[in-house]
Structure 1
Protein backbone atom coordinates (compact mmCIF):
# COMPACT_ATOMS: atom_id res chain seq x y z
CA UNK A 1 0.00 0.00 0.00
CA UNK A 2 2.80 2.42 0.89
CA UNK A 3 4.60 1.77 -2.41
CA UNK A 4 1.40 2.54 -4.35
CA UNK A 5 1.08 5.88 -2.53
CA UNK A 6 4.74 6.73 -3.23
CA UNK A 7 4.26 5.89 -6.90
CA UNK A 8 1.10 7.99 -7.22
CA UNK A 9 2.69 10.98 -5.46
CA UNK A 10 5.88 10.85 -7.55
CA UNK A 11 3.99 10.54 -10.84
CA UNK A 12 1.69 13.44 -9.92
CA UNK A 13 4.68 15.62 -9.06
CA UNK A 14 6.40 14.69 -12.34
CA UNK A 15 3.25 15.52 -14.33
CA UNK A 16 3.03 18.89 -12.54
CA UNK A 17 6.68 19.56 -13.44
CA UNK A 18 5.87 18.77 -17.08
CA UNK A 19 2.87 21.14 -17.01
CA UNK A 20 5.09 23.91 -15.66
CA UNK A 21 7.77 23.15 -18.26
CA UNK A 22 5.31 23.27 -21.16
CA UNK A 23 3.64 26.47 -19.91
CA UNK A 24 6.89 28.42 -20.23
CA UNK A 25 8.14 26.73 -23.40
CA UNK A 26 7.92 27.93 -26.99
CA UNK A 27 5.15 26.78 -29.31
CA UNK A 28 5.43 23.40 -30.96
CA UNK A 29 6.42 21.43 -27.90
CA UNK A 30 3.87 19.12 -26.30
CA UNK A 31 3.62 15.89 -24.34
CA UNK A 32 4.87 12.77 -26.08
CA UNK A 33 3.97 9.82 -23.91
CA UNK A 34 5.89 8.36 -20.99
CA UNK A 35 9.19 6.68 -20.33
CA UNK A 36 9.70 4.06 -17.67
CA UNK A 37 12.16 4.32 -14.79
CA UNK A 38 12.71 2.08 -11.81
CA UNK A 39 13.44 3.83 -8.52
CA UNK A 40 14.91 1.99 -5.56
CA UNK A 41 13.43 2.98 -2.19
CA UNK A 42 13.79 1.70 1.37
CA UNK A 43 10.77 -0.55 0.85
CA UNK A 44 11.68 -1.90 -2.59
CA UNK A 45 11.64 -1.01 -6.28
CA UNK A 46 8.98 1.24 -7.79
CA UNK A 47 8.36 1.46 -11.55
CA UNK A 48 7.50 5.07 -12.45
CA UNK A 49 6.08 6.54 -15.65
CA UNK A 50 8.16 9.65 -16.47
CA UNK A 51 6.46 12.11 -18.89
CA UNK A 52 8.28 13.04 -22.12
CA UNK A 53 7.97 16.02 -24.44
CA UNK A 54 8.40 16.11 -28.21
CA UNK A 55 11.57 18.21 -28.20
CA UNK A 56 13.19 16.21 -25.36
CA UNK A 57 13.90 19.37 -23.36
CA UNK A 58 12.16 18.23 -20.16
CA UNK A 59 14.62 17.54 -17.34
CA UNK A 60 12.70 16.44 -14.22
CA UNK A 61 13.91 17.85 -10.90
CA UNK A 62 12.23 15.32 -8.59
CA UNK A 63 14.02 12.34 -10.12
CA UNK A 64 16.75 13.59 -12.43
CA UNK A 65 17.90 11.78 -15.55
CA UNK A 66 20.19 8.83 -14.85
CA UNK A 67 19.28 8.91 -11.14
CA UNK A 68 17.83 5.84 -9.47
Structure 2
Protein backbone atom coordinates (compact mmCIF):
# COMPACT_ATOMS: atom_id res chain seq x y z
CA UNK A 1 0.00 0.00 0.00
CA UNK A 2 2.93 2.38 0.63
CA UNK A 3 4.11 1.83 -2.94
CA UNK A 4 0.76 3.03 -4.24
CA UNK A 5 0.91 6.10 -2.02
CA UNK A 6 4.49 6.81 -3.13
CA UNK A 7 3.51 6.38 -6.77
CA UNK A 8 0.55 8.72 -6.35
CA UNK A 9 2.79 11.27 -4.65
CA UNK A 10 5.34 11.01 -7.44
CA UNK A 11 2.69 11.41 -10.12
CA UNK A 12 1.26 14.40 -8.30
CA UNK A 13 4.66 16.08 -7.96
CA UNK A 14 5.45 15.53 -11.67
CA UNK A 15 2.04 16.92 -12.59
CA UNK A 16 2.69 19.95 -10.39
CA UNK A 17 6.07 20.59 -12.02
CA UNK A 18 4.60 20.35 -15.51
CA UNK A 19 1.68 22.65 -14.74
CA UNK A 20 3.83 25.27 -13.00
CA UNK A 21 5.84 25.85 -16.15
CA UNK A 22 3.37 25.48 -19.01
CA UNK A 23 6.07 26.35 -21.53
CA UNK A 24 8.17 23.35 -20.50
CA UNK A 25 5.75 20.75 -21.84
CA UNK A 26 4.96 22.84 -24.92
CA UNK A 27 8.68 23.22 -25.68
CA UNK A 28 9.26 19.49 -25.27
CA UNK A 29 6.40 18.71 -27.65
CA UNK A 30 7.68 21.28 -30.15
CA UNK A 31 11.22 19.87 -30.11
CA UNK A 32 10.06 16.27 -30.48
CA UNK A 33 7.75 17.09 -33.39
CA UNK A 34 10.43 19.18 -35.10
CA UNK A 35 12.94 16.33 -34.83
CA UNK A 36 10.34 13.91 -36.23
CA UNK A 37 9.76 16.17 -39.24
CA UNK A 38 13.50 16.45 -39.88
CA UNK A 39 13.97 12.67 -39.59
CA UNK A 40 11.06 12.00 -41.95
CA UNK A 41 12.52 14.46 -44.49
CA UNK A 42 15.89 12.70 -44.25
CA UNK A 43 14.16 9.40 -44.94
CA UNK A 44 12.22 10.76 -47.92
CA UNK A 45 15.35 12.28 -49.47
CA UNK A 46 17.59 9.33 -48.65
CA UNK A 47 20.21 11.55 -46.99
CA UNK A 48 20.45 13.95 -44.08
CA UNK A 49 20.97 17.69 -44.39
CA UNK A 50 24.29 18.55 -46.13
CA UNK A 51 25.14 14.85 -46.52
CA UNK A 52 26.68 13.78 -49.82
CA UNK A 53 25.29 10.47 -51.02
CA UNK A 54 24.80 8.60 -54.30
CA UNK A 55 21.45 7.39 -52.96
CA UNK A 56 20.08 10.93 -52.45
CA UNK A 57 16.63 11.30 -54.06
CA UNK A 58 16.33 15.07 -53.84
CA UNK A 59 17.35 18.27 -52.09
CA UNK A 60 15.94 20.43 -49.33
CA UNK A 61 14.42 23.79 -50.19
CA UNK A 62 13.83 25.68 -46.95
CA UNK A 63 10.92 25.61 -44.53
CA UNK A 64 7.40 26.91 -44.08
CA UNK A 65 5.74 27.47 -40.72
CA UNK A 66 2.65 25.79 -39.38
CA UNK A 67 0.91 26.27 -36.07
CA UNK A 68 -0.42 23.21 -34.28
CA UNK A 69 -3.07 23.59 -31.59
CA UNK A 70 -2.49 21.25 -28.64
CA UNK A 71 -3.78 20.86 -25.09
CA UNK A 72 -0.73 22.76 -23.85
CA UNK A 73 -1.15 25.63 -26.29
CA UNK A 74 -0.03 26.62 -29.76
CA UNK A 75 3.09 24.94 -31.09
CA UNK A 76 4.86 26.57 -34.01
CA UNK A 77 6.66 24.16 -36.33
CA UNK A 78 9.08 24.69 -39.22
CA UNK A 79 8.03 22.14 -41.84
CA UNK A 80 10.86 21.27 -44.22
CA UNK A 81 10.37 21.47 -47.99
CA UNK A 82 12.11 19.69 -50.81
CA UNK A 83 12.65 20.92 -54.36
CA UNK A 84 10.43 18.29 -55.98
CA UNK A 85 7.51 18.69 -53.57
CA UNK A 86 7.57 15.08 -52.36
CA UNK A 87 7.36 16.07 -48.70
Which bin holds the TM-score, normalised by the shorter protein?
0.7 to 0.9
- Which structure's residues are more often strand, by fraction? 1
Indicate the structure (1 or 2) with the bigger Cα radius of gyration: 2
Aligned to 1:52: 81
Partners of 2:39 and 2:63 lie apart in 1 by: 14
Count of paired positions: 56
Query: What 5-or-longer segments of structure 2 have no aligned partner?
Result: 1-23, 47-54
* Structure 1 runs of 4+ with >3 Å offset: none
Query: What 5-or-longer segments of structure 1 have no aligned partner?
Result: 59-68
TM-score by length of 2: 0.60
Considering only aligned residues, what root-mean-square deviation do their CA atoms show, in Å?
1.3
Bigger relative contact order, structure 1 or 2 (CA pairs below 8 A, ≥6 apart) = 1
- Which structure's residues are more often helix, by fraction? 2
- 3-state DSSP class of the match of 2:85? coil
